[in-house]
Amino acid sequence: MIERMTEICRGFRNPIIPGFHPDPSVCRVGDDYYLVTSSFEWFPGVPIFHSRDLVDWRQLGHVLDRPSQLDLDGVRASGGVYAPTIRHHDGVFYVITTLVGGPGHFVVTATDPAGPWSDPHWLPGIGGIDPSLLFDDDGRVWVCGAREKAEPRHPGDTEIWLRELDPVTLRPLGEERVVWDALQRGGVWSEGPHIYKIDGRYYLLTAEGGTSHDHAVMIARSEHVAGPYEPCPRNPILTNRHLGRDHPITCTGHADLVETQDGDWWMVLLAVRPYGGGDNLGRETFLTSVRWEDGWPIADPVAETATAPALPEHRWPAAPACDHFDTVRLSPVWNHLRTPREPYWSLGDGRLRLRLRPQTLAQRTNPSLIARRQQHMDFAAHTALDFTPGPGECAGLALVRSDDFHVLIVVTARGLELVRREAGVEAVRARTPLSAAWNGRPGRIWLGVEARGQEYQARYAEAPGQWRDLGDPVDGRILGTSVAGGFTGAYIGMYASSNGRPSGNTAEFDWFEYLPL
């Protein structure tokens, strides 16, 4: 009894998965929970997580980790992979999602959530975004999603559609049926649908109001999967839009429901933590409890701290703060911009080597960049770089939001430079010459950035521990949605480029550390 009370009274902090992890979807298999999120133009696509208590999560890897699965060539910033849904049926895991800017909806499958996952099974002739699967108890399979109306009354005038799939081939059957519209008069972006069968009824969960401050969660129910659906009289069942833009948690929406093995209900959803006039962390994954009244789910307000699910606590070993690059493969924390078509990186002798190529961060290409999400408002990141630049070449650290918004701390033939790119306009904010040891010979330099709120201070050292500031702090708001737009979040990582010229040069990184402050 004492152990049970400890489980019930244990608290947790939101977000449960910090940093850019939007549009979460979750499923339970026995005592295990699996969760996926959107990845947009970043590769590998669709990070997948595992938990046993809904609070502590470990990343298993990515669902789309092979170029044959995911073609992101030329995809614009905030294009690519939108809003995946994960479900489990008869021993098989299914993830359905959309490649925006590509062929559209597809399904991949696996018997082990850690992979390997299949190549895509495309769903031709079905438009829109945010698809979700329902495996009904009569053996039928349904897919629903959102799309803009053929004759929209205003921008963002969408509808929710439903279509049956062949349970073996997943080939679309029959005609699409429109089953839902925005509830709010003049409402926009009714999207992110999931259909559940609970106690013999079908429940349709949707997002509404757009993914920013007016975001909300709506629910409806029906006796039949194709409707008609009756809206909950207490809609929206979750929103923070009435709390103002200065609330510590905003934009709550795009949710998915899950029932624990003990019969309790919880909701994962996206939300944003604004700070310092910006929102650099992007849309993150949050958790809140759900209770039922009169046959309707009621979500509790999303809080920074809350009581954890009544499940046995299961913590995973903490990821090391420093990556010494002593493994044969990159950790799943690391991403590439768009699909890598050639091995521009290598691991060996405890080093990460980046080959300099003509591609740059300012282009819609796959540059020589290995980056990870910013996950804290205050953080420090450092690396040790061995590099001798040729004319026009650079290597170092990059803070990235998109091709038009990023910050570079890079070694060049002119010295160490701090470069800020905002709205496609690039400017060198600071430059310092390097010591004589760098004249035509390989040299080591330590690079770093320390962010406190929206002040990002670039730093460097030419000897261990002898850190100096490089210029004044950069306003980090250019890495957030409020300035840069889009649906992603800030990344930081290691970058090298020959800036449009052919090169045989290589930049070597001895280690990389990321620390919350």
Catalytic residue list: 23, 191
Joined tokens for residue 142: 């349904």
Q: Residue for token digits 């679309």?
A: 172
> How many alpha carbons fall within 13 Å on the CB side of residue 18?
16
Joined tokens for residue 441: 């010979």
Joined tokens for residue 512: 């990389």
Q: Which amino acid is at 170?
A: L
Using CA atoms, how far apart are residues 232 and 180, in angstroms rounded to an integer?
13
Q: Residue for token digits 């002040």?
A: 455
Collect all residues with Cβ–Cβ distance below 8 Å to 487 and sequence separation of at least 6.
Answer: 22, 38, 40, 78, 211, 282, 283, 481
Using CA atoms, how far apart are residues 198 and 208, in angstroms rounded to an integer?
22
Helix (H) or strand (E) holding 322: strand 322-323
Residue whose C-alpha is closest to residue 125's, from 140, 105, 145, 147: 105
Joined tokens for residue 57: 């999560």
Provide the pairing of β-strand 201-208 with 191-198: antiparallel
Please answer whether residues 289 and 466 qualify as being in contact, where contact means their C-beta atoms are separated by less than 8 angstroms.
Answer: no
